[in-house]
Structure 1
């Protein structure tokens, strides 16, 4: 899986991604807000990892128990004749330790991987799609065998074991430093108050030292928390998603689904244009033709009336031109082609029913494709604001983000900010999937910071030379 920073300038510890059907690039991120809140969520996340670590270690423990029994049984000298009772116990042990425990371990490991993938999608915005199954045409018996004893099943046992060990280490460290350190400092403060009330000042040295040590431990733990979370994400990415053949297959699925959605979007756009032309421009052109026909019939008998009809036809022709211009503007405005994004964005902002402030910092024009994608993103974002946000003010900003020294490409960053109700959900018909597809077609990314009641910040990063 190829993961990118989902923060978009608003944080990197939580979010949801677009689209849910794909693994790969996190697209839409909902940030947790201020740093202290993010730190709290990170601590809770690592404590959850500590609790889940015991569950993740169960498959490995089950296999160790099973292997230990098999080894001891093989190493035990066999007698030629065993009592019936011993044979009965041996059969029961074989059923338990050989027949039941290994598949139980792989099934529990699959459950653990499912839980972890859900956590990755909910917390970090990393979503996986199921890779195509090359043996999907196998018989049900073979599929069941592979599901329980296949390579993926044993890989999941190894993953859950490693994830459990990491959860014990990282979560335990956070609990010791942050939770225990903070609790010790709080308890020492009560001890100081008790000493001041009933004891002597000489007894303050111990509680004061404990307060200092507890606070320092908590601060160190909070400082380490982002790095522990980052190592956990890296571990999960490498172990769960980064098999090259799986990554290629997911990419093919991603391209196939994205292509299908683009075809659907193109068909919907074609239908919209056809409807607009039929209901608007076509009817006006028909009326214009009839008006000119009437004027032509009256030129000889009633010149004044003919002149009035010609004047009416001239007005209708202007209205037709305006309507056609509105239709064409939704495809690719002339101002964008002639004067660039810096001139086209104010025009798009001027059509919005809410006040829009435009802030553009572009010393030169990006590629025409990048400009078109950014213009489309801005129009779609403003359309979403109008339909869903109930905002009173919107800001549209465009800037060039220089690439880092490691050879990264320059980006055209478009940011649309509103003060509406927030809570943008790609599943509720907000058009974010279509916008994501348009950006993904040029290897761009889409990040959305949209807490409930806190407005929405949409950030689109588009390669400068797309």
Structure 2
């Protein structure tokens, strides 16, 4: 199964898989809580380190605006008379062309770095729309690339990300790093005071020993909220304008529709091939066996009985093969008994040990059950083909997202301990999964770091 997709939108299919649409579930991705907190702290410290770089584009634009302000008033001053035209043209070129162009390029680089960071750490990616400049000439495209609306939007985002990095990273630095360092230093101070014998000086170190860890704990508790605000900022500012989102959505619908048509045609050919090569041939053999038995009923009753027995055996094999063909369509157990009974059946056919954990008091809509069952079966097939896993866990639960029960989600997750690090372009079937989940307005999440297994999560509307 695949790890994720990156930016591509209309430029290729790789951008069509929205890996994570919600806030980061760091604990699920990185295991124990302490490890997740460490990842969050390191992420915020990195944001603090990058904050100054993120603020450079805005600073350059402030410098350009300041020069414009001086240029408006400078000609009225006596000392401005001695300035040559060449120097003025050079200033205009530097402050009104070079500085804004460099600021736009740096802002684009800052947004690219931020996308890659959120993608690598939390699996949060964004699909890009079709290139609106594809029909323009090179000069127009270069101008829009440097001075278009997208560039100014990225300057705004890089500035907001820089300010957020300074605030969030500063909080983590003061509370977690400084608090922990102060507590450790205070311990050495206590040892020094005890050696010196000045017990009156223990108040300060003892206070730091108590306050330092408390500050570090408060900072660790705040890291999840600070990361969540950063992700929210990313989603609000770095994602495109509403009309671009609509265009991107239309591209998704068009491409997913084409892929679903291709998938339906491939499934039809598979069924036709299975019926022709399997059941049809066996039915032909069954017909020939019954014809031979009929011709020998009078002349050789014993041989006719043997042929009838053979025909019964072939008929059972035909039935088994037809069940295998129909099993991939919609199993009867899913219709009659629901997802809780169908998932163990699907797990029993997997070549690796599968643990099934279903916590569903009620049944979702039949469409939601069908999508979840399809995702589970395809995910188990991917595990068998690509993951080289030794164990798999399939879990299904109902997740409440608001006070309205109709807004609940059916969350299906498939976790394996395989090699991970797969690619949607490698033919692992994730585009088909995404198409099926997206068709009911669900969200498919895949976390697959190399060497650490894969976690696939499908959030499907309960009343899909």
Q: Same fold (TM over 0.5)?
A: yes
Bigger helix fraction: 2
Residue 425 of structure 1: aligned partner: 422
CA contact (8 A) 1:56 1:160 kept: yes
3-state SS, counterpart of residue 128 of structure 2:
coil
Q: CA-to-partner distance for each residue in 1:106-151, whole Å, 9 max, x for gaps?
A: 1211221222222232233332222234453222221221111112
* Structure 2 equivalent of residue 9 of structure 1: none
Deviation at 1:36, TM superposition (A): 1.6
For the aligned residue pairs, the C-alpha RMSD in angstroms reads 3.1
Structure 2 partner of 1:6: none
Shift of 1:457: 5.0
In 2, Cα distance between equivalents of 1:94 and 1:450: 50
Residues 439 and 77 (structure 1), Cα distance of their counterparts in 2 relative to 1, 3 Å cut: closer
Is the CA contact 2:406–2:462 (under 8 Å) kept in the aligned structure 1? no
Q: Is 1:436 aligned with 2:430? A: no
Q: How does 1:380-391 map to 2 (within 5 A)?
A: 380-391=378-389
Query: How big is the shift at 1:228?
Result: 1.8
Aligned residue number for residue 10 of structure 2: none
**Are 1:145 and 2:139 counterparts?**
no
Structure of higher RCO (CA pairs closer than 8 Å, 6+ residues apart)? 2
Provide the C-alpha distance between the structure 1 equivalents of 2:238 and 2:438, rounded to a whole number of angstroms: 23
| Aligned residue number for residue 98 of structure 2 | 100
Contact 2:5–2:16 under 8 Å retained in 1: no
1:33 alignment partner in structure 2: 31
Distance 2:253 2:453 in 1: 32
Structure 1 residues 106 and 416: alpha-carbon distance in aligned structure 2, compared to 1, 3 A threshold: closer
Which residue among 402, 405, 418 is the counterpart of 1:404? Answer: 402
Unaligned runs of 5+ in 1: 1-14
Instruction: Name which of 277, 288, 297 aligns with 1:279.
Output: 277
Counterpart secondary structure, 2:440: coil
Could you tell me how far 1:38 is from its partner in structure 2? Answer: 1.6
Q: 1:378 to 1:24 in 2, by over 3 A?
A: closer
SS in 2 for 1:76: helix
Taking a change above 3 Å as real, the CA distance of residues 454 and 335 of structure 1, as seen in their structure-2 partners, is same
- Secondary structure in 2 aligned to 1:77? helix
Per the alignment, residue 412 of structure 2 pairs with 414
Matched with 2:9 is: none
3-state DSSP class of the match of 2:212? Answer: helix
Aligned to 1:306: 304
- Which among 313, 316, 319 is matched to residue 315 of structure 1? 313
**In the superposition, relative to structure 1, how do residues 383 and 27 fare at CA in structure 2: closer, same or farther (>3 Å)?**
farther
* Contact kept in structure 2, 1:23 and 1:250, CA below 8 Å: no
> What is the match of residue 180 of structure 2?
182
Q: 1:325 is matched with which residue?
A: 323
Of 346-355 and 218-227, more deviation after overlay is shown by 346-355
Instruction: Give the aligned partner of residue 124 of structure 1.
Output: 122
Mapped partners of 1:463, 1:363: distance in 2? 16
Distance 1:164 1:431 in 2: 38
Paired with 2:100 and 2:390, the residues of 1 have a C-alpha distance of: 61
Given that residues 394 and 414 in structure 2 are in contact (C-alpha distance below 8 angstroms), is that contact kept between their aligned partners in structure 1?
A: yes
Q: TM-score by structure 2 length?
A: 0.86
SS in 1 for 2:444: strand
In structure 2, the partner of 1:269 is: 267
Shift of 1:31: 0.8
Structure 2 residue ranges without an equivalent (≥5): 7-12
The separation in 2 between residues aligned to 1:117 and 1:66, in whole angstroms, is 28
- Counterparts in 2 of 1:9-28, with a 5 A limit? 21-22=15-16, 26=20
Q: 1:408 to 1:35 in 2, by over 3 A?
A: farther
Alpha-carbon distance change, 223 to 325 in structure 1, aligned in 2, over 3 angstroms: closer
**1:200-254 C-alpha deviation (Å, 9 max, x unpaired):** 3223222222333322332222222222222222222111116221221221122
- SS for the counterpart of 1:196 is helix
Contact 1:426–1:432 at 8 Å: present in 2 too? no
Equivalent-residue separation in structure 1 for 2:132 and 2:191 (angstroms): 69
Task: Give the distance between the partners of 1:63 and 1:417, measured in 2 at CA.
Answer: 48
The answer to whether the 8 A contact 2:406-2:463 is kept is: no
Q: What SS does the aligned partner of 1:258 have?
A: helix
**Structure 2 counterpart of 1:10:** none
The farther-off stretch of 47-56 and 258-267 is 258-267
Aligned partner (choices 249, 253, 256) of residue 254 of structure 2: 256
What is the total number of aligned residue pairs between the two structures? 450
Q: Which residue of 2 aligns with 1:169?
A: 167
Q: 237, 244, 247: which is aligned to 1:246?
A: 244
| 1:20-45 per-position Cα deviation (integer Å, ceiling 9, x unaligned) | 51476726976122222222111111
